[in-house]
Chains A and B, each alone.
Chain A
Amino acid sequence: MTAVSRPTPRPSPETSHFWEACQEGRFLLPKCADCGSHWFPPSGFCPECWSRNWEWEHASGLGLLHTFVIFRRQYHPAFEPPYAVGVVHLKEGPRMLSRIVTEDIDKLRVGMALKLTWDRSGDWMIPAFQVL
């Protein structure tokens, strides 16, 4: 069987540091030094107060399942259904799309507590979340 690789991220200049840290197993979020907001995806200015004064911060890797779907149809040869994709409400505030890793896909519920794990995809480390 020919292995088809998964799509990989194509980072922008504003997100490349986020992805570089991921490859070292570090999960970073931009944090505004003026208003204290975290945001995602990473960008050059705080979207809340427009401050340019911010830094990268190690995120807790904790979150809640805002919502999720289960792929039953195959959309890509490297993603074998069924699998779950969800929106994670990160403890720091922002939301991000993620694979939801679980033993029993039918027991997923909106509001479940989640923690960070890593999805290895070829040479890439992709952030994913698993049920706590």
Chain B
Amino acid sequence: MAHQKVAAEMTNPNRALRGKYAIVGVGQSDLGQVPGFSSLGLLNKAMHNAVEDAGLAKTDVNGIICRGPDDVYTHHQRMGELLGIDAEFSTTLDNGGASQILSIILAVMAIDAGLCDVVLCGYGRDSWSRTHRDTSTRMSVPLVPPEQERAEFNAEVGMFGAVAMHALGASRHMALYGTSKDDLGSIAVAFREHALRNPSAQMKQPLTLEKYHSGRQIVDPFNVYDCSLVTDGAGAVVVCSAERAKDLKQPPVLISGFGTFNNLRGWYYDEHMTDTAARRSGEKAFSMAGIQPEDIDTAQLYDCFTYMVLTQLEDYGFCKKGEGGPFAASGALALDGSLPCNTSGGQLSEGHVEGMLQILEGVRQLRHAYQSERQVTNAEWALVSGHGGNTVCHSSLILQRGGG
């Protein structure tokens, strides 16, 4: 028996890191339409708030990991300059919406390697101010900077934007498994209900399935309610050892499992649109944490579009492949459902900060930070996901309530 246990540990070397590090501080900026701040300014504020939340001082921080806004080079240097911090370890990541969890994974790796002790991870964007603040800006400023667009095999056939890219996946899932617009709509409706309980969420109006179906079509099968919000906002977390966390201000939230997988051969390859990198990324995270999907009390899933939630529910093993639609439509994602999901409203209804707010929400749920109307009862385990990088990069994070 002991022998078998050793073998299992050896096949999962990252189990040695299970629960060894913790998220000890979280912070965010204002969300939504926040004129007067650049993306760097928003992140500066979120990082200040995260360090203050942890009860740490600027001088304690010696690592910085960011994902830059798309138009800033060596973003971590710019942040260190604004924060007034020289770092033992710092870098900028480039995995799109999968970068935010990756920054936490990399922080654990860097601290465990002895490169630094206390790492600030964060992301900020000024999408509303930059691209949506008035009509002329909307008409003239592209959502995606031109240098990021593929030079060929894309725009010349009329392909534009992330909406269409993800809609290709939804369209195939609908054809293969009979997934319906009602199924997608149930996800938007569930997250909106959560946003109405969150005073800082961008969306303030109720959403019914009927109203969902009346939404303006963007790229079939997606209408406006299938798409995440345009947001100015930032979020940040502080990572350090669980040992050090014991003496800090907040109840620690332990980093118990993580995993990555990147379907780099592309969204069109194999069944990558309907069997996403969430599956293998999740398998590693669950294996490291030593738990099963049914042990998860709340999931904070990357919801750039309704469909990405649906496929991740399947890919993480909360239901069988093809059954994500009926699972979501059953009400499972509600606060009192079997898998309370995106309990702050998600990117569809709270604000789109590329997965950063999902990490913050996972931490707050495990701290039992909320009054009962927003709190997942007795939340012990949270799964958080990140997806992006030309639709194929994925990161998974399993958090556990600490101090128990």
Q: Which residues of A contact B (CB under 8 A)?
A: 6-12, 15, 19, 41, 47, 66-73, 75-76, 79, 83, 85-87, 95-99, 109-111, 119, 121, 124, 126, 128
* Residue B155 lies at the interface, judged by CB distance under 8 Å to chain A: yes
| B156, B167, B217 pick with most chain A CB within 10 angstroms | B156
> How many pairs of A and B residues are in contact by the CB < 8 Å rule?
92
* Residue B175 lies at the interface, judged by CB distance under 8 Å to chain A: yes
- Residues of A contacting B220 in the complex (Cβ-Cβ under 8 angstroms): 69-70, 72
Given contacts A75-B161, A97-B153, list 15 more A-B pairs with CB under 8 A: A8-B156, A66-B268, A67-B273, A69-B167, A70-B220, A71-B158, A75-B158, A75-B160, A76-B160, A83-B158, A87-B268, A95-B268, A96-B268, A97-B157, A126-B157
Contact A7 B155 (CB under 8 A): yes
With the chains together, A66 CA to B272 CA distance in Å? 12
A67-B175, A69-B220 known; A85-B153 Cβ under 8 A? no
* Residue B164 lies at the interface, judged by CB distance under 8 Å to chain A: yes
- Residues of B contacting A97 in the complex (Cβ-Cβ under 8 angstroms): 153-154, 157, 159, 268
Q: Using C-beta atoms within 8 Å of the partner chain, give the interface range for chain B.
A: 20 to 34
- Residues of B contacting A83 in the complex (Cβ-Cβ under 8 angstroms): 158
- Residues of A contacting B72 in the complex (Cβ-Cβ under 8 angstroms): none
Least CB distance from A70 to B in Å reads 4
A15-B152, A87-B268, A126-B156 known; A71-B175 Cβ under 8 A? no
- Residues of B contacting A109 in the complex (Cβ-Cβ under 8 angstroms): 175
* Residue B73 lies at the interface, judged by CB distance under 8 Å to chain A: no
Contact A124 B156 (CB under 8 A): yes
Contact B217 A72 (CB under 8 A): yes
Contact pick for A99, options B157, B218, B268, CB 8 Å: B157
With the chains together, A38 CA to B94 CA distance in Å? 30
Contact A69 B168 (CB under 8 A): yes
Task: Scan B211-226; emit 1 where CB is below 8 A from any A CB, else 0.
Answer: 0000011111100000
- Residues of A contacting B200 in the complex (Cβ-Cβ under 8 angstroms): none
Closest to A67 in B: B172
- Residues of B contacting A111 in the complex (Cβ-Cβ under 8 angstroms): 175
Closest to A15 in B: B152
Contact A41 B152 (CB under 8 A): yes
Nearest 6 A/B pairs, CB to CB: A110-B175, A67-B172, A75-B160, A7-B155, A9-B152, A10-B151
* Residue B171 lies at the interface, judged by CB distance under 8 Å to chain A: yes
Contact B218 A9 (CB under 8 A): no
Interface SS of chain A = strand
* Residue B169 lies at the interface, judged by CB distance under 8 Å to chain A: yes
Contact B157 A98 (CB under 8 A): yes
Contact A70 B268 (CB under 8 A): no
Contact pick for B269, options A67, A68, A95, CB 8 Å: A95
Contact B164 A69 (CB under 8 A): yes
Contact pick for A70, options B157, B172, B216, B219, CB 8 Å: B219
Least CB distance from A88 to B in Å reads 9
- Residues of B contacting A119 in the complex (Cβ-Cβ under 8 angstroms): 157
Closest to B160 in A: A75
With the chains together, A123 CA to B44 CA distance in Å? 49
- Residues of B contacting A128 in the complex (Cβ-Cβ under 8 angstroms): 157
Least CB distance from B138 to A in Å reads 12
Task: Scan B134-172; emit 1 where CB is below 8 A from any A CB, else 0.
Answer: 000000000000000001111111111100100111011
With the chains together, A8 CA to B155 CA distance in Å? 7
- Residues of A contacting B155 in the complex (Cβ-Cβ under 8 angstroms): 6-7, 76
Contact B219 A73 (CB under 8 A): yes
A85-B159, A87-B168 known; A9-B175 Cβ under 8 A? no
With the chains together, A99 CA to B158 CA distance in Å? 7
Residue contacts A-B, CB under 8 angstroms, 23 given: A6-B155, A9-B151, A11-B152, A12-B151, A12-B152, A68-B168, A68-B171, A69-B167, A69-B171, A69-B219, A70-B219, A71-B158, A75-B160, A85-B159, A85-B164, A96-B153, A97-B157, A97-B268, A110-B172, A110-B175, A119-B157, A124-B156, A126-B157
- Residues of B contacting A19 in the complex (Cβ-Cβ under 8 angstroms): 152
- Residues of A contacting B268 in the complex (Cβ-Cβ under 8 angstroms): 66, 87, 95-97
Contact A67 B159 (CB under 8 A): no
Contact A9 B219 (CB under 8 A): no
- Residues of B contacting A10 in the complex (Cβ-Cβ under 8 angstroms): 151-152
A9-B156, A10-B151, A10-B152 known; A73-B217 Cβ under 8 A? yes
Task: Scan B171-190; emit 1 where CB is below 8 A from any A CB, else 0.
Answer: 11001100000000000000
With the chains together, A76 CA to B164 CA distance in Å? 13
Contact A72 B156 (CB under 8 A): no
- Residues of B contacting A8 in the complex (Cβ-Cβ under 8 angstroms): 156
